[in-house]
């Protein structure tokens, strides 16, 4: 914490140093003129003299960009961001495909999701943003980096397979992130599908279905037969309405890197979920140790866009290096972006150095 010398404190209080030392002695503290006293002692002393002291805010971290506080009156509705989670092969991608009426599964190597995609769909004239994740790993990685991107989790459980290890992990992740869960009991068209057994298993993990007196929405669906999907989307909008999701679009953009890669032709391509403010072409940006200027933006329908508002996922071109998934992306003036990126890089290098020294010491001890 903060501290102040007896001399400075005396001058701030407009008292003689000897007076302050005497008062300190009465408080049981033996202090010399140049001794430092902590904030608590200083405030007790000040009150003894019939005044008070104020603590200064902690010094700013040069590797952080200060967050902008939004005035509640500037907040407006934003679309819900939904993550689909669940055990391997329970039908996450199929469900999203059917919802989007497109077919990503066929293009994917072996039908397994290779990366996080972000898509927007319409339901009752309202947009819903979907993030497709390869199981829970991406969610975990982002959580570990402090990134909170999703408003609602759809937990896909195959009606024939039931609750599996990754189903439980997904429940735990959503719970620790305090994200509401909507269960999609998928593959109800299958022989051997048993939705009641799924409900029973989920109840054992604290998710009690509404029709059993609990408060978890569970919708039986079939990605193949396209059943229950409208109901599922309606439930998403219902939960979103209760969450009262809002953001201020009229400020510098703040978002999260969903994924990023180096593309031969286009350079660094980062999928960004804008969460606050509006990101525009020409904005100078920083994400992790990467900085640059927004050169182009592409939405989920492969269209070039000039701006991206809260809850919009966009591909951003223009960063000088590849950021990491979960990094915050912030629009800030060019100079700040460059300086903060340099500071972050220096910090990263120091940490890496410490790590490698530790490793070489370990090696040394192993040899002895």
Binding residues: 86-93, 132-136, 186-189
Does the footprint of ligand GTP cover residue 112 (CB under 6 A)?
yes
Q: How far is the CB of 152 from ligand GTP (least distance, A)?
A: 18
- Closer to ligand GTP at the Cβ: 89 or 321? 89
Rounded Cα gap, residues 132 and 37, in angstroms: 55
Q: How far is the CB of 80 from ligand GTP (least distance, A)?
A: 21
- Closer to Mg ion at the Cβ: 134 or 267? 134
Cβ-closest position to Mg ion: 93
Question: Mapping DSSP to helix (H, G, I), strand (E, B) and coil, where does residue 335 land?
Answer: helix
Rounded Cα gap, residues 228 and 166, in angstroms: 23
The DSSP symbol for 163 reads S
* Binding segment toward ligand GTP, per CB under 6 A, in 147-155, 199-207, 217-225, 312-320: 217-225
Question: Residue 246: which H helix or E strand, with range?
Answer: strand 246-247
The DSSP symbol for 109 reads G
Does the footprint of ligand GTP cover residue 186 (CB under 6 A)?
yes
Q: Are 203 and 215 in contact (CB under 8 A)?
A: no
Phi, psi of 2, rounded to the nearest 5 degrees:
-85, 155
CA angle 219, 114, 96 (to 5 degrees): 25
Tokens coding 252? 């510098």
Does the footprint of Mg ion cover residue 113 (CB under 5 A)?
yes
Phi, psi of 164, rounded to the nearest 5 degrees:
-125, 170
Does the footprint of ligand GTP cover residue 103 (CB under 6 A)?
no
Rounded Cα gap, residues 85 and 4, in angstroms: 53
Does the footprint of ligand GTP cover residue 91 (CB under 6 A)?
yes
What is the pattern of x (binds Mg ion, CB under 5 A) and - over residues 137-176? Answer: ----------------------------------------
Q: 252: which strand partners?
A: 278
Does the footprint of Mg ion cover residue 289 (CB under 5 A)?
no
Interactions with Mg ion, residue window 87-106 (CB under 5 A): 92-93
Q: Which residues are annotated as a binding site for GTP?
A: 86-93, 132-136, 186-189
Residue-wise over 94-112: b if at least 16 C-beta within 10 A, else e? Answer: bbbbbbbeeebbeeeeeee
* Binding segment toward ligand GTP, per CB under 6 A, in 90-98, 122-130, 239-247, 296-304: 90-98
What is the pattern of x (binds ligand GTP, CB under 6 A) and - over residues 221-260? Answer: -xxx------------------------------------
- Closer to ligand GTP at the Cβ: 222 or 278? 222
- Which residue, chain included where needed, has tokens 């912030």? 330
* Among 277, 86, 256, residue whose Cα is nearest residue 185: 86
Does the footprint of ligand GTP cover residue 111 (CB under 6 A)?
yes
Phi, psi of 289, rounded to the nearest 5 degrees:
-95, 5
Does the footprint of ligand GTP cover residue 173 (CB under 6 A)?
no
Rounded Cα gap, residues 20 and 18, in angstroms: 5
Out of 105, 120, 194, 230, which residue is the one contacting ligand GTP (CB under 6 A)? 105
Does the footprint of ligand GTP cover residue 164 (CB under 6 A)?
no
The DSSP symbol for 321 reads S
- Closer to Mg ion at the Cβ: 93 or 256? 93
Contacts with ligand GTP by CB under 6 A lie at: 86, 88-94, 105, 111-113, 134-135, 186-187, 189-190, 222-224
């Amino acid at each position: 914490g903060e501290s102040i010398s007896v001399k400075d404190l005396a001058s701030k209080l407009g008292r003689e140093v000897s007076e302050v030392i005497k008062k300190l002695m009465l408080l049981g503290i033996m202090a010399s003129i140049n001794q430092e006293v902590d904030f608590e002692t200083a405030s007790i002393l000040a009150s003894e003299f019939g005044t008070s002291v104020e603590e200064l805010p902690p010094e700013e971290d040069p590797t952080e960009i200060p967050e902008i506080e939004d005035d509640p009156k500037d907040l407006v509705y934003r679309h819900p961001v939904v993550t689909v989670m669940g055990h391997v092969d329970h039908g996450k991608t199929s469900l999203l495909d059917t919802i989007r009426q497109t077919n990503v599964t066929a293009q994917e190597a072996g039908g397994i999701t290779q990366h996080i995609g972000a898509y927007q769909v319409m339901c009752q004239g309202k947009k819903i943003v979907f993030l497709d994740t390869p199981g829970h790993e991406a969610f975990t990685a982002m959580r570990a980096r402090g990134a909170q991107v999703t408003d609602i989790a759809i937990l896909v459980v195959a009606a024939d397979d039931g609750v599996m290890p990754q189903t439980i992990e997904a429940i735990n992740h959503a719970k620790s992130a305090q994200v509401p869960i909507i269960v999609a009991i998928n593959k109800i068209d299958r022989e051997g599908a048993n939705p009641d057994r799924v409900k029973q298993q989920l109840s054992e993990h604290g998710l009690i279905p509404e029709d059993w007196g609990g408060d978890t929405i569970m919708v039986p669906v079939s990605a193949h037969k396209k059943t229950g999907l409208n109901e599922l989307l309606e439930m998403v909008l219902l939960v979103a309405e209760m969450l009262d999701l809002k953001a201020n679009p009229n400020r510098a953009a703040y978002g999260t890197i969903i994924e990023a890669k180096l593309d031969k032709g286009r350079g660094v391509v980062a999928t960004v979920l804008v969460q606050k403010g509006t990101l525009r072409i020409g904005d100078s940006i920083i994400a992790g140790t990467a900085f640059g200027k927004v050169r182009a933006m592409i939405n989920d329908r492969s269209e070039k866009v000039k701006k991206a508002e809260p809850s919009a996922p966009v591909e951003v071109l223009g960063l000088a290096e590849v950021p990491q998934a979960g990094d915050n992306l912030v629009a800030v003036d060019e100079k700040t972006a460059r300086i903060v990126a340099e500071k972050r890089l220096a910090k990263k290098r120091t940490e890496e150095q410490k790590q490698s020294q530790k490793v070489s010491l370990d090696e040394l001890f192993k040899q002895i």
